[in-house]
Amino acid sequence: MAYFDHAATTPMLPEAIEAMTKALSTTGNASSLHTSGRRARRAVEEAREDIADALGTRPSEVVFTSGGTESDNLAVKGIYWARRTPSRRRIVASSVEHHAVLDTVQWLVEHEGAEVSWLEPDPLGRLRPEALHELLDDDVALVTVMWANNEVGTVNPVRELVAPAAARGIPFHTDAVQAVGALPVDFTESGASALTMTGHKIGGPYGVGVLLLGRDVATTPLLHGGGQERDVRSGTLDVPAVVALAAAVRHAVTEQLARAGELAALRDELVASVRRAVPDVVVNGDPEHRLPGNAHLTFPGCEGDSLLMLLDAKGIECSTGSACTAGVAQPSHVLLAMGVEPVLARGSLRFSLGHTSTTGEVRELAEVIGPVVERARTAGIAGMKRLAGSGGRTTAEV
Amino acid sequence: MRVLAAMSGGVDSAVAAARAVAAGHDVTGVHLALSAKPGTLRTGARGCCTIEDARDARRAADVLGIPFYVWDFAERFTEDVVEEFVAEYAAGRTPNPCLRCNERIKFEALLDKAIGLGFDAVCTGHYARLSTVDGRLELRRSADDGKDQSYVLASLTREQLAHAMFPLGDSTKAEVRVEAAERGLQVAEKPDSHDICFIPDGDTRGFLTRRLGEQPGLLVDDETGAVLGRHVGVHEFTVGQRKGLGIDAPAADGRPRYVLSLEPVTGTVRVGAAEKLAVTEIVAHRPVTRIDFDGPVECVAQVRAHGGLAPAVAELVDGELLVHLREPLSGVAPGQAVAVYRPDAAGDLVLASATIGSTR
């Protein structure tokens, strides 16, 4: 077995499981005023402090949510609604965002009178501050640009991207779901107004995440009710999930970050061994500014779903990118935005490594990838139009 | 054998896959996503109208304990089945999209991919019997007369059938449903699908009019040449059609009138009495034969998916299949297939299939 899908979800850390298990057997609503309630509240507040400390912010700026999708929705919709005026309705968003941001922005355009300017990436998937600067004006309600791309692994210059927005007083949200635990993330230092992170990508539980939200950033809540979380996110706090999340964050910003170099070396070994077997493999994304655990590869002449099935049958798990609800592999909107031909985009796989990855797993992949690619090439691009051929493209080599 | 089971989400393909597993094959399930919806924000993405069917197929695969994937054949399906369906109607013919889908998608695009990926066969839930006798592949009608699908498989070539597996051929639908329930497959009671899958509301006319627009023409009495009415396109009609002709005045003799022929170039639809529909000679193109046609062969001809049977003599002449019907059939529409069978107690044997070109 080789698991190369840590960017989708990564195994829970023992310390997170322990913290969660312990908390599951205690009772107490963190909003209750009695002893059990105070005990629960204390656990939540300690978790909040740990997370704030780990991510360079104040406890009051930590808002617990149900995960990355909710945090993205809360930031984008909440800040847009709070700042919307007849002359300020534009959102600037990168075109390579996760669908939790992309579809939220699109929904605001379709239903809430928003306008959008898409910030396009360069061929390496990187978003450029100069390009962002060009898009900003007084009518912009919000800028949202991810810290690091979940598909191709490109890391953006967040501080430099924040600067032109900050100069105009425009709130800047960043989806840092893939960045936390992989890169140093300091919310205050970044200058961002809001930052999304989630538990299950760093060894915490599913179903819990955080929106770091600057105290002065006006935000309209999505969920109304008991007024928890600064009245921005009502709902009884999931104490076991919150304490487990804090345990995972502590681990992520210490040990995982310390091992980022090792992880990158293992990733490079994976890429090198794949290239030995498949010399024409193309590495997508930015060779320099890159998540340590990400290898995004295009295998010309193959269909991603053929490769995925053949590797799966050999016990090797990876990803073709996103899939629709029914489970159809989609050509990555990120690659398309980077200018990759659709037929090549469909022949791409993401291998993402994490805290349990080993050289043994990389060796397993190295042993089978050659024959698997050969096999997939025989099967060809069956589902596509017969005319489809492979066109030219701009590529990066790691 | 390594078997790729095409799983639509219905009960038939689920039980077919289950039988392949039970027979000891190494089975992988795939659901084909065939419907393309224009992407909006998700550039290049396609919507899924098959979410429920995909889920049903996935749950059946879970119960069987086999790997399961959804593969995207929407582009090929659109090109080879939907576009051709529209083009055929526009040309005044009546296509059979299920037959085309078997020919071009399930046993061409999917089969090619399966073979390429190292599978030996594609397994489907079709009701037809396939066996090898003295090294020769024989395709026969299903044990369930009412569900028999040999007609829409009869045009598959020897190479295609050599890699096909139809585990339901010896069973009736009722038996299949019972077996599905016994195997714990949730789709046991799922209703049969009848409509053309890409026209889920069943409104073929509406679909064609949306695709082809209005191409008005005249409804003409075949005998007198009198104009009986106007229509919005020949694609609204099928030879043998009686209802929905939009003729206000009854015929002089008071008898019902039927569509006799379609002339797409002039937009003329000829109508007339039932007996003028009677056909005794069929010339059919692109024959696929399963036996050697050395001369005329006694057979039973079938001219549409359900019904339309008559004893006949078939022969190959200049690469076309000529079928002389011993009893006239009505509603024989160009574009449909004619399949010819040799009656047999073990299931009528498919001898040949071809596309109906002209009739007399």
Reported ipTM: the value is 0.86
Q: Is residue A87 within 8 Å of A63, Cβ to Cβ?
A: no
Question: Over chain B, what HEC string results?
Answer: CEEEEECCCCHHHHHHHHHHHHCCCEEEEEEEECCCCCCCCCCCCCCCCCHHHHHHHHHHHHHHCCCEEEEECHHHHHHHHHHHHHHHHHCCCCCCHHHHHHHHHHHHHHHHHHHHCCCCEEECCCCEEEEEECCEEEEEECCCCCCCCHHHCCCCCHHHHHCEECCCCCCCHHHHHHHHHHCCCHHHHCCCCCCCCCCCCCCHHHHHHHHHCCCCEEEEECCCCCEEEEECCHHHCCCCCCCCCCCCCCCCCCCCCEEEEEECCCCEEEEECHHHHCEEEEEEEEEEECCCCCCCEEEEEECCCCCCEEEEEEEEECCEEEEEEEEEECCCCECEEEEEEECCCCCCEEEEEEEEEEEC
Identify the CATH class of A259-379: alpha beta
CB contact under 8 A, B58 and A327: yes
- The partner residue sitting opposite B67, judged by closest CB among A306, A313, A328, is A313
- 3-state class of A393 per DSSP? coil
- B337-342 vs B320-329, strand pairing mode: unpaired
- Nearest chain A CA: its distance from B65 CA (Å): 13
Asked which of A4-13, A24-33, A328-337 is least confident by mean pLDDT, the reply is A328-337
pLDDT tens for each residue of A131-141 = 999 999 999 99
Q: Where are the beta strands (DSSP E) in A41-161?
A: 62-65, 90-94, 115-119, 140-144
B214-273 shares its CATH topology with B278-359: no
Is there a catalytic annotation at residue A324? yes
Residue A87: pLDDT over 60 = yes
Which pLDDT score is estimated for A326? Answer: 62
Going from N- to C-terminal start, the domains of chain B cover 2-189, 214-273, 278-359
Q: Which of A1, A33, A258, A324 is catalytic?
A: A324
Q: Consult the annotation and say whether B150 binds a ligand.
A: no
CATH of domain A14-255: 3.40.640.10
Which pLDDT score is estimated for A397? Answer: 28
CATH number of this structure's domain B214-273, picked from the four choices 3.40.50.720, 1.10.3720.10, 2.30.30.280, 2.60.40.10: 2.30.30.280
Q: State the virtual CA torsion across A228, A233, A238, A242 in degrees, nearest 10.
A: -100
Q: Is the CB of residue B345 less than 8 Å away from at least one CB of chain A? A: no
pLDDT tens for each residue of A295-344 = 999 999 999 999 999 999 999 999 987 666 666 777 789 999 999 998 89
DSSP annotation of A225 reads: S
Which pLDDT score is estimated for A324? Answer: 63
Alpha carbons B238 and B261: distance in angstroms, whole number: 8
CATH of domain B278-359: 2.40.30.10
Q: Which is nearest to A174 in space by CA: A124, A211, A121?
A: A211
Residue A30: pLDDT over 60 = yes
The Cβ of residue B136 has, within 10 Å, a number of other Cβ atoms equal to 10
Identify the CATH class of B2-189: alpha beta
Q: Is residue B352 within 8 Å of B341, Cβ to Cβ?
A: no
pLDDT tens for each residue of A232-289 = 999 999 999 999 999 999 999 999 999 999 999 999 999 999 999 999 999 999 999 9
Which residues are registered as beta bridge partners of B268? Answer: B263
Which pLDDT score is estimated for A321? Answer: 75
Which pLDDT score is estimated for B247? Answer: 81
Which pLDDT score is estimated for B249? Answer: 73
List B residues 101-120 in contact with A (Cβ-Cβ < 8 A): 109-110, 112-118
Which pLDDT score is estimated for B251? Answer: 74
Interface with chain A: mutation pick from B72, B101, B108, highest number of A CBs within 10 Å: B72
Residue in chain B closest to A116 (alpha carbons) equals: B41
Q: Consult the annotation and say whether B217 binds a ligand.
A: no
Which pLDDT score is estimated for A394? Answer: 28
Going from N- to C-terminal start, the domains of chain A cover 14-255, 259-379
Q: Which residue has better confidence, A84 or B232?
A: A84
| C-alpha A175: how far from chain center | 6
Q: Is residue A10 within 8 Å of A317, Cβ to Cβ?
A: no
Average pLDDT on A215-227 reads 97
The Cβ of residue A366 has, within 10 Å, a number of other Cβ atoms equal to 17
Q: Is residue A250 within 8 Å of A54, Cβ to Cβ?
A: yes
Q: What is the mean pLDDT of chain A?
A: 93
Question: Over A22-75, what HEC string results?
Answer: HHHCCCCCCCCCCHHHHHHHHHHHHHHHHHHHHCCCCHHHEEEECCHHHHHHHH
Contact residues on chain A for B112, CB-CB shorter than 8 A: 379-380, 382
Contact residues on chain B for A378, CB-CB shorter than 8 A: 116-117
Q: Consult the annotation and say whether B9 binds a ligand.
A: yes
- Nearest chain B CA: its distance from A367 CA (Å): 18
Q: Is the CB of residue B59 less than 8 Å away from at least one CB of chain A? A: no
pLDDT tens over chain B, length 360 residues: 999 999 999 999 999 999 999 999 999 999 998 876 533 334 333 334 467 888 999 999 999 999 999 998 988 999 999 999 999 999 999 999 999 999 999 999 999 999 999 999 999 999 999 999 998 999 999 999 999 999 999 999 999 999 999 999 999 999 999 999 999 999 999 888 777 888 878 889 899 999 999 999 999 999 899 999 999 999 989 999 998 888 877 777 788 899 999 999 899 999 999 889 999 999 999 999 999 999 999 999 999 998 899 999 999 999 999 999 999 999 899 999 999 999 999 999 999 999 999 999
Alpha carbons B184 and B112: distance in angstroms, whole number: 32
- The partner residue sitting opposite B70, judged by closest CB among A103, A326, A384, is A326
CB contact under 8 A, A308 and B79: no
